[in-house]
Amino acid sequence: MIGTLAIGAIIAALVFDFLNGFHDAANSIATVVGTRILRPLQAVAMAAIANFVGPFLFGVAVATTIGKGIINPDFVTMQIVIGALAGAIVWDIITWLLGLPTSSSHALVGGILGAGLAGAGVKAVIFDGLQKVGMGIVISPVVGLVVAFLLATLLMTLFARSKPHMVNSLFGRLQLISSTYFSLTHGANDGQKTMGIIALILLTQGVITKFSVPYYVIIMAAAAISLGTFFGGWRIVKTMAVKITRLKPYQGFSAETGGASILAILAWLGIPASTTHAISGAIMGAGAVKRLSAVRWGIGRRIVWAWIITIPASAAVSYVVTLFIKALV
């Protein structure tokens, strides 16, 4: 029989999932909105549907890493779960208010780490899992930037003698495909984080006897993130779509394709990557293809600093919240 506290934790996990979609809506639609191929409402509707479908296509390897790859499940309590979610949710809200495109994924990782340390100590931490997260932090923006830059350079070379309106029209249509592709990988990667948390809750409550992600958990989490995406955060869309750089359709296509491809690979490998990091790096790479000055690197530096402090900041919040919960119980 699942307890009241566990039900509250599942609700909190779905709230985080909704906020993840809300906070990260810009990741999926920034380029297609920035290049004016779709209106914002059309873009979020498309992204919401693709976010829902994504986890069903790419499996649940990332959910497994989140659920049992950072903190040993043997040490997990409901206080730790709630503390982890509280840290992630608070950090997401703060960065949304500031309009910073930080990673909800890494906010959750920081939350799990901080709550685990407060609730069970260093012995509960699985450092191999943290190494996987570290790989995702480095790989997703760097590879996204390089792939988008190379693809945009190739396309610019191939279509150098073509009429601009023809190129814009062609890649405007292709962006519908690339933005859907990115939204699928967004749902596959970010959507799985909450699945891992809910599966962990079910394991601690004895609902499941070994770690796995039931079908109904996939549906619940996919629905929550897709709804969050539909009601997405326009503050961050503005930063991602127009403040970093102005993109033409072929650059938008390159950024989405580059970012989505690395996310797809990492999802299959079970590495919790950040869609925010991937698309931010890809936008910078695609924007720099004609000249480096086309990218507002000052905005980029601000985003990078937000990336750096996300895990320690959310971990600190979760650590304090978990200690508070332990004192009350």
Tens-place pLDDT, residues 86-142: 888 888 788 777 766 677 778 888 999 999 999 999 999 898 888 877 787 778 888
d(CA 172, CA 252): 9
Q: How many CA atoms lie within 13 A of 271 on its CB side?
A: 19
> What is the pLDDT confidence band of residue 294, given thresholds at 50, 70 and 90?
low
Number of domains composing the chain: 1
Measured from the Cβ of residue 301, the count of other Cβ atoms closer than 10 Å reads 10
**Residue 288 pLDDT class (50, 70, 90 cuts):** confident
pLDDT at residue 29, rounded to an integer: 73
Residues 189, 101: Cα–Cα separation, whole Å: 16
Q: Are 230 and 56 in contact (CB under 8 A)?
A: no
pLDDT in tens, 183-228: 888 888 887 888 989 998 998 888 998 888 999 999 999 899 888 8
Burial of 46 (0-12, 13-18, 19+ CB in 10 A): buried
Note the pLDDT tens digit of each residue in 32-86.
Answer: 776 777 777 787 788 888 888 888 888 788 888 888 888 988 888 888 999 999 8
pLDDT band at 325 (very low <50, low <70, confident <90, very high): confident
So what's the pLDDT on residue 151? 94
Range of the domain at 290: 4-328
Average pLDDT, integer, range 161-174: 88
How does the average pLDDT of the chain come out, rounded? 83
Residue 315 is predicted with a pLDDT of 93
The owner of tokens 């995406």 is 229
Instruction: Read off the pLDDT band of 275 (50, 70, 90).
Output: confident
- Distance CA(101)–CA(223), nearest Å, equals 22
How far, CA to CA in Å, does 147 sit from each of 83, 109, 161, 168, 213? 37, 26, 23, 20, 32
pLDDT for residue 155: 93
**Taking the alpha carbons of 292, 298, 303, 305 in that order, is the dihedral positive or negative?**
positive
Positive or negative, the CA dihedral 128, 211, 266, 100 is: negative
Q: Among the ranges 32-46, 172-186, 283-297, which has the highest mean pLDDT value?
A: 172-186
Predicted confidence at residue 239, as pLDDT, reads 53
Q: Say how far apart CA 182 and CA 140 lie, in whole Å.
A: 13
Name the one residue in this structure whose structure tokens are 């890649």: 171
Q: Classify residue 134 as exposed, middle or buried by CB count within 10 Å of its CB (0-12, 13-18, 19+).
A: middle
Please say if the pLDDT value at position 234 is more than 60: no
Q: Looking at residues 7-22, what average pLDDT do you find?
A: 88
Find, among 61, 89, 3, 64, the residue nearest to 263 by Cα: 61
Among residues 231, 242, 235, 186, which one has the least CA distance to residue 32? Answer: 242
**What mean pLDDT do residues 225-253 have?**
69
204: closest CA among 55, 2, 53, 25?
Answer: 2
More confident of the two residues 41 and 267: 267
CB 80 within 8 A of CB 115: yes
Structure confidence at residue 240 as a pLDDT band (50, 70, 90):
low
Q: What is the mean pLDDT of residues 276-299?
A: 74
